[in-house]
């Protein structure tokens, strides 16, 4: 009974912070205290509780470093003129009539090549959102198109870490999994392109000419300014460690800031830490970035990652797991998997934890490992984006500067889950009908 009370309070606190527009960080901190109180009631020693928190925190070190580098990249790209160059020339050849669908397809290609949603958002995503702002497109729809494209490769690229994780824990062949994923993404892919194109109909684009012209007056443009973004894509394809990849891009941008923009070392330091800010008409398009801009994400990840040890080493989820096993026996597998992965995403801070906990909840209910792997790809890999405090979707949205509500305009996620769940229900009903005859 105590476990249910704790879990209900946990969810209510998080949703209350969203509904009443209160600090997510405070809500996450309150929930960490709630879990500590639960552990104390269950007679866990303070040292054991600290160890539970540490277990979660130690695995986030790499993520926090990547966040820091992302903040610095977005600042120095602005100072060096890379983003301004992309905006200035991008607005001249992108067709407004196919903008949203084009953004989705472009980000899908980059994410498939690199296998990372974070890497896609920090390169193609930032460029697309900057151009979107310059052309006065809807930031919610553009953000959704970027996120949809970023997760196309995150789900089904042979270089995707989430695809590799699913294959590893289910003990399946990643290439068989990828083949199955492509079969189940064709209809969602077509529906996503159609949906984004529908949002393009009737749009009267008002190009922000004043701001774009101001950009050209501020920066010295050179085609070499695309190198910091292109280098990240190429080095990701070559499987260079993401942290080293980003550091190389930062170093190139620092050189370009000196060579092309004649920036001082003080200006470079300021851009890396505090971002780029200029008081002119161009500011609304290019201001932002810097290490400081990622502080909220650092806190969200740092606090929520401390939850993992409590879920792993206490009995918080034990009774729920037993009940879920009974539900699997009476319901379509993917329907149940989708629901539990959404619930788990509420408690977890990242996609990896959602995948691992979903696997633990469902693995005994599947006879086929390949089916389990596919259902996880069509649920646990995708559902974390629906939770605004889960970094899977929140981080790419924060990176590109889109509103948080853009999460729910990621139609590729909707269609992957919806279409495949419908097929799962139909298959379940057909098998049930045959067994009754």
pLDDT digits (tens, 9 = 90+) for 341-357: 988 888 776 787 788 88
- DSSP symbols for 234-256: HHHHTT--HHHHHHHHHHHHHHH
Task: Look at residue 207 and tell me whether its pLDDT is greater than 70.
Answer: no
Task: Look at residue 405 and tell me whether its pLDDT is greater than 80.
Answer: yes
Distance CA 216, CA 61 (A): 39
Distance CA 422, CA 400 (A): 33
Task: Look at residue 120 and tell me whether its pLDDT is greater than 90.
Answer: no
Q: Which of 361, 336, 335 is nearest to 348 (CA)?
A: 361
- Look at residue 395 in the predicted model and tell me its pLDDT: 84
Instruction: List, in order, residues 6 or more apart from 129 with CB less than 8 Å away.
Output: 139, 142, 143, 146, 400, 401, 402
- Look at residue 197 in the predicted model and tell me its pLDDT: 94
- Look at residue 97 in the predicted model and tell me its pLDDT: 85
Dihedral angle sign, alpha carbons of residues 71, 73, 78, 79:
positive
- Look at residue 124 in the predicted model and tell me its pLDDT: 82
pLDDT-derived band of residue 59, with 50, 70 and 90 as boundaries? low
Q: How long, in residues, is the chain?
A: 437
Residue 123 DSSP symbol: I
pLDDT-derived band of residue 187, with 50, 70 and 90 as boundaries? very high
- Look at residue 418 in the predicted model and tell me its pLDDT: 95
The answer to whether residues 16 and 27 touch, using CB atoms and an 8 Å cutoff, is yes
Q: What percent of the chain has pLDDT over 70?
A: 97
Distance CA 179, CA 8 (A): 39
Average pLDDT, integer, range 122-138: 85
Task: Look at residue 186 and tell me whether its pLDDT is greater than 90.
Answer: yes
Q: Which of 193, 208, 89, 109 is nearest to 152 (CA)?
A: 109
pLDDT-derived band of residue 214, with 50, 70 and 90 as boundaries? confident
- Look at residue 285 in the predicted model and tell me its pLDDT: 72
Distance CA 132, CA 134 (A): 5
Mean pLDDT (the chain) is: 85
Task: Look at residue 332 and tell me whether its pLDDT is greater than 80.
Answer: yes
- Look at residue 246 in the predicted model and tell me its pLDDT: 85
pLDDT-derived band of residue 167, with 50, 70 and 90 as boundaries? confident
- Look at residue 312 in the predicted model and tell me its pLDDT: 74
- Look at residue 294 in the predicted model and tell me its pLDDT: 82
Task: Look at residue 248 and tell me whether its pLDDT is greater than 90.
Answer: yes
Residue 276 pairs with which residues in a beta bridge? 288
List the Cα angle 25/118/70 in 5-degree steps. Answer: 70
Distance CA 390, CA 381 (A): 12
* Global pTM exceeds 0.85: no
pLDDT digits (tens, 9 = 90+) for 263-297: 999 999 999 999 888 887 677 777 888 899 888 87
- Look at residue 403 in the predicted model and tell me its pLDDT: 92
Q: What percent of the chain has pLDDT over 90?
A: 32
Encoding tokens for residue 312? 């792993």
pLDDT-derived band of residue 240, with 50, 70 and 90 as boundaries? confident
């Amino acid at each position: 009974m105590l476990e249910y009370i704790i879990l209900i309070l946990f969810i209510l606190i998080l949703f209350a912070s969203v509904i009443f527009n209160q600090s997510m960080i405070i809500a996450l901190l309150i929930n960490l205290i709630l879990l500590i109180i639960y552990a104390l009631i269950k007679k866990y020693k303070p040292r054991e509780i600290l160890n539970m928190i540490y277990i979660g925190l130690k695995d986030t070190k790499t993520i926090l470093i990547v966040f820091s580098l992302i903040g610095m990249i977005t600042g120095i790209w602005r100072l060096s003129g890379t983003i301004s160059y992309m905006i200035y020339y991008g607005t001249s050849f992108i067709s407004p009539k196919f903008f949203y669908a084009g953004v989705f397809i472009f980000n899908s290609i980059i994410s498939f090549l690199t296998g990372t949603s974070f890497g896609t958002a920090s390169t193609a995503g930032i460029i697309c959102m900057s151009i979107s702002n310059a052309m006065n497109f809807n930031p919610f729809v553009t953000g959704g198109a970027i996120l949809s494209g970023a997760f196309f490769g995150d789900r089904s690229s042979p270089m995707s870490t989430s695809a590799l994780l699913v294959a590893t824990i289910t003990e399946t062949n990643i290439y068989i999994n990828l083949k199955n994923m492509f079969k189940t993404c064709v209809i969602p892919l077509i529906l996503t392109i159609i949906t984004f194109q529908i949002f393009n109909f009737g749009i009267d684009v008002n190009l922000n000419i004043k701001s774009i012209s101001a950009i050209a007056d501020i920066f010295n443009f050179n085609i070499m300014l695309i190198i910091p973004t292109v280098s990240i894509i190429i080095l990701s394809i070559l499987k260079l460690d993401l942290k080293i990849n980003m550091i190389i891009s930062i170093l190139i941008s620092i050189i370009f800031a000196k060579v092309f923009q004649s920036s001082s070392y003080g200006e470079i330091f300021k851009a890396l830490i505090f971002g780029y800010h200029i008081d002119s008409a161009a500011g609304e398009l290019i201001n932002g970035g810097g290490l400081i801009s990622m502080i909220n994400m650092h806190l969200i990840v740092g606090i929520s990652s401390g939850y993992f040890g409590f879920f792993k080493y206490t009995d918080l989820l034990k009774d729920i797991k037993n009940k879920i096993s009974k539900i699997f026996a009476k319901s379509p597998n993917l329907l149940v998997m989708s629901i539990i992965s959404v619930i788990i995403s509420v408690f977890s801070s990242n996609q990896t934890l959602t995948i691992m906990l979903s696997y633990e909840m469902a693995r005994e209910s599947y006879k086929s490992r390949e089916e389990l792997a596919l259902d996880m790809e069509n649920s646990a890999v995708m559902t974390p984006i629906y939770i605004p405090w889960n970094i899977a979707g929140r981080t790419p949205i924060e990176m590109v500067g889109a509103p948080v509500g853009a999460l729910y305009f990621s139609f590729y996620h909707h269609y992957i889950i919806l279409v495949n769940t419908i097929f799962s229900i139909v298959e379940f009903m057909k098998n049930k009908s045959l067994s009754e005859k």
